[in-house]
Chains A and B, each alone.
Chain A
Amino acid sequence: MSSHSVLISEPKVIPTSDSASRLARTWRQPSGFWGWFSNVHHTAIGTRYMVTAFIFFLLGGVLAAVMRLQLTRPENNVLGPDAYNQFFTVHGSTMIFLFAVPMMFQGFGVYLVPLVCGTRNIAFPRLAAFSYYLFLGGGLLLWIGLLTNTGADAGWFSYVPLAGPAFTPGKRADFWAQMITFTEVSALGTAICIAVTILRHRAPGMTLNRMPILLWEKLVISFMVIFAMPAVMVVSSMLLLDRLVSTQFFNPAVGGDALLYQHLFWFFGHPEVYIIFLPGTAIVSSLVPVFTRRHIFGYTLIVLSVVATGFLGFGVWVHHMFATGIPQMSASFFTAASLVIVIPTAVQFFCWIATVWNGRIQPKLPMLWLFGFFFVFLIGGLSGVMLASVPVDWQVHDTFFVVAHFHYVLIGGAVFPMFAGLYFWIPKITGRMMNSTLGHWHFWLFFIGFNLTFFTMHFLGLRGMPRRIYTYSPDMHWNALNVVATSGVAFMTAAILVFLANFFYSKKYGELAGDNPWAAGSLEWATASPPPHYNFLDLPTVNGREALWDAEPDQAIVVGLRDDVPEVLVTNSLDSDPEHKEETVGPSIWPFLTSITVSATFVGSIFTAWAIPYGAPFVVITLIGWLWPRGHSPMTREEAIEEYSHG
């Protein structure tokens, strides 16, 4: 990093100018134990999402490692069927609901979107904070369940009737269903925050056709969340109602239907895959220009692809149900749809390749992870083409082939870009660079381990090993392949340990990053690392798709926002023209208190329907506490200082 020594500054921003100190005072977030629960700044919330989701990633990984140990040998005794079923259900649910979406969409989204937009905070910061607490509540619920032998055990999609009242006694499936409620309310809240931030808080000049692809993708994902997540909330609520108050949605004896569950679930479940994968492509599209030193090729094509994926993602859900015996005609239709959705992803791939050809690749660590992404995700995408074909799906559906496929897609489409993104943005978050040598070790260990474990699973699937079996007979000839698959776990574990060591080491002793260590072009690099709570000393204006690269020598800054109250600029959705100024809200304990009352109501409703009428008044009280106007709008400067320095 010697080349950018001129850019390096201390990671802690010490405001020097008068305006900076006033801004720092106005946007100050409280500290201390209770301050932690009052903080509503998006960098804090985004970091929390990332850290929490990463911890869940580690926990889910531990479960996976134990399951692999169980499968190493035929008729192994590491786990019994009961524990194994809980392990794989909690593993899947954790990775999807507590890691992938919170990390890729909420974590990166909440942290980055306001910075890339060039605004001071996310829209509805209290809602964002509330969403985080609910996400945490959902995660704790699922894991406390596992630790108290109440771990969900009907698979991460909890098909009925198996998860219904007749076949899963006790509260295991209820814990799962309520975890869904927690995490989906959280994702929906965040989606509103992110969509509104992107639509109304972009820096002046960042018109729709200059919006970085990251923002486009986050916008599309927000809308996908808004249309997809209600489906899973509806279906998990139906499951809860069936289990708790004896509704008959899924009871075939009295007009209910088991396939209704599958339709509703996958109407959410397939868009969910794209909700997980699109943030990955967002990271790729953000990083490729930086490390090829070239504007991305085919901006419009990529944006159109992303939007098309958003729409098509809702039209392919039945391909999870080909083996249910649906009519040939509709199977063909959904095969066609599933193949069509390959095209937008392929288009993005080709555009990245074109960018790589036109640019000059820099051998930096995040780019290495992007290579990993290209390799791994391509395999996952192509095995997806195989699965889209109905007859092939009839054979390999619900086998280890599918397990291999979706790990290639999800680890390839989310975890590899995540690590690329973490190595890229951690300097912004902590102010210090990550160690590149350790990063290379991390990559190669993870890449080798991943392929050992999951590529082998393709063969296991073709050779008839169904998924979700806790053991198998020695005469099935699956032993040797399973040993290979388990051996990869050792590599991946080592890789993750290397990453953790690297993170904690670099956080303390890493090279100082400076504002823009990668010489990147988007707005998050126009401020200090880590960013101050007011994000930008002067709000920027934008002149091109890569704001910093395309800036004119005297690119204008925004003046006229008050620095004595937390004011943000609201711009027009399309052209990003300034429309009005809005005073945003400051730190508050109420989102946390609300999340407590809401959580208590949700958890209570696992056990009795009366929890809802009894819990509702408390929810209302905390909501009123949250939303009741304080002070006058707009406040005088003295009042503002009074409010925010003692609040």
Chain B
Amino acid sequence: MDRICGERAVLDVSGLPNVAFGHKNVTWLANVLYMTIEGTMFALVIASYFYLRTRSTDWPPGNSPPYIWFGVANSILFLLSVLPARWIQKKAPSGDRAAVTIGLFILAIFASACIALRVYEFTTLNCRWSDNAYASCIWTLIGVHSGHLVTEWIETLVIFGVSLTDKMEGTRLADAAINSDYWYFVVVSGFIVNFIIYATPRFL
């Protein structure tokens, strides 16, 4: 803290930067809190799933487990999509607008592909949400995660749209980097959700 002695003691902050990346960014913190909320929701639905498991003798009750390969394919796609997201985060602090734009474009394409695969996942769940409590849980999990997927896809597209204009600077670059954090959350929750949906009915 510099103190300039004058009429009264002051703390001069005029030299501080206007933009911060990573955990120093205020929006980053809000995003983390937001992901905590979403994560708690996922955790509670998953907890309900295991609770309902204890109330049923066979699992899945009267349905066959979902067809596995679309889920696996989507998980692999999730894994690959981490690369462009990370690339955006690397390039954003240096102000490389072109790289960020390209990264966002690739990420949007990945997200679109994930959504397309998700449509097939929905058709191969081998149950209807109104069949029983198991089916309700499965549909809720995959539905909520798809909601996240679509939200993130739209967000990426919007930031991509911003990056095509001359407004892509300063805090917008930081926002693009934060968007990648959120994509990681979608990926991680996607892995967990896919594990619950595709793996647990096969061994629980």
Contacts and interface: CB of A to CB of B under 8 A. Distances in A.
A201 B52 CA distance: 44
Contact of B130 (A248, A255, A267): A248
B172 A254 contact: no
B177 interface: no
Contact of A196 (B20, B26, B56, B162): B26
B18 A556 contact: no
B136 interface: yes
Given A255-B55, A633-B169, A200 B29 contact: yes
Interface string A597-622: 00000000000000000000000100
A561 B13 contact: yes
Interface in B1-31: 1, 3, 8-20, 24, 26, 29-30
B100 interface: no
Contact of A192 (B15, B34, B52): B34
A559 B158 CA distance: 37
A234 interface: yes
Interface stretch (A38-46, A257-265, A298-306, A490-498): A257-265
Nearest to A565: B18
B133 interface: yes
A579 B20 CA distance: 9
A647 interface: no
A558 B11 contact: yes
Contact of A255 (B1, B33, B61, B171): B61
Contacts of A195: 29, 33
Contacts of B171: 582-583, 633
A629 B33 contact: no
Contacts of B140: 238, 241, 247
Nearest to A191: B33
A326 to B, nearest CB: 13
Given A560-B12, A581-B17, A226 B26 contact: no
A234 B26 contact: no
Interface stretch (B35-43, B84-92, B107-115, B193-201): B35-43
Interface in B33-66: 33-34, 36-38, 40-41, 44-45, 48, 51-52, 55-56, 61
B112 to A, nearest CB: 16
Nearest to B12: A560
A161 interface: no
Contacts of B142: none
A646 interface: no
A583 B132 contact: no
Contacts of A560: 12-16
Interface residues of B, number: 53
B131 A556 contact: no
A230 interface: yes
Nearest to A229: B37
B167 A257 contact: no
A227 B38 CA distance: 10
A338 to B, nearest CB: 21
Interface string B152-194: 0010001000100001011110000000000000000000000
A557 B18 contact: no
Nearest to A251: B133
Contact of B137 (A249, A541, A582, A632): A249
Contacts of A124: 30
A75 B24 CA distance: 65
A559 B10 contact: yes
B122 to A, nearest CB: 14
A578 B132 contact: no
B151 to A, nearest CB: 9
Contact of B51 (A192, A234, A260, A541): A260
Indicate the member of B16, B36, B41, B158 with the most A CB atoms within 10 Å: B16
Given A248-B131, A249-B133, A629 B52 contact: no
A541 B1 CA distance: 11
A570 interface: yes
Interface string A188-217: 100110011001100010000000000000
Given A255-B52, A582-B18, A248 B135 contact: yes
Contact of A188 (B11, B37, B169): B37
Interface in A542-587: 554-561, 569-570, 577-583
Given A247-B140, A632-B169, A556 B3 contact: yes
Given A192-B30, A245-B129, A248-B130, A557 B8 contact: yes
A80 interface: no
A597 to B, nearest CB: 14
A634 interface: yes
Contacts of B16: 560, 569, 578-581
Interface in A161-185: none
A624 interface: yes
Nearest to B23: A573
A247 B130 contact: yes
Contact of A254 (B3, B12, B13, B133): B133
B176 to A, nearest CB: 12
Given A556-B8, A624-B158, A231 B40 contact: yes
A263 B20 CA distance: 42
B196 to A, nearest CB: 15
Given A558-B13, A582-B26, A629-B162, A227 B18 contact: no
B179 to A, nearest CB: 11
A204 B11 contact: yes
Contacts of A33: none
B9 to A, nearest CB: 4
Nearest to B7: A554
A476 interface: no
B130 A570 contact: no
Contact of A248 (B38, B133, B154, B158): B133
Interface in B66-111: none
A628 interface: yes
A151 to B, nearest CB: 28
B144 to A, nearest CB: 9
Contacts of A559: 10-14
A249 B8 contact: no
Contacts of B15: 560
Contacts of A242: 136
A14 interface: no
Contacts of B158: 624, 627-628
Contacts of B132: 248, 254-256
A263 B40 CA distance: 15
A589 interface: no
Given A255-B132, A633-B171, A247 B11 contact: no
A180 B130 CA distance: 24
Contacts of A629: 162, 167, 172
A234 B45 contact: yes
Nearest 8 A/B pairs, CB to CB: A560-B14, A247-B136, A255-B133, A556-B9, A254-B132, A230-B40, A246-B130, A633-B170
27 contacts: A192-B30, A195-B29, A204-B1, A226-B37, A230-B40, A230-B41, A234-B44, A241-B129, A241-B140, A246-B130, A247-B135, A248-B132, A248-B136, A249-B136, A251-B133, A255-B55, A255-B132, A263-B51, A556-B3, A559-B10, A559-B12, A560-B15, A583-B18, A583-B171, A624-B158, A633-B169, A633-B170
Given A123-B30, A558-B12, 11 more contacts: A229-B37, A234-B48, A257-B52, A260-B51, A541-B11, A555-B9, A559-B10, A577-B1, A583-B18, A632-B167, A634-B170
Interface of B: 1, 3, 8-20, 24, 26, 29-30, 33-34, 36-38, 40-41, 44-45, 48, 51-52, 55-56, 61, 129-137, 139-140, 154, 158, 162, 167, 169-172
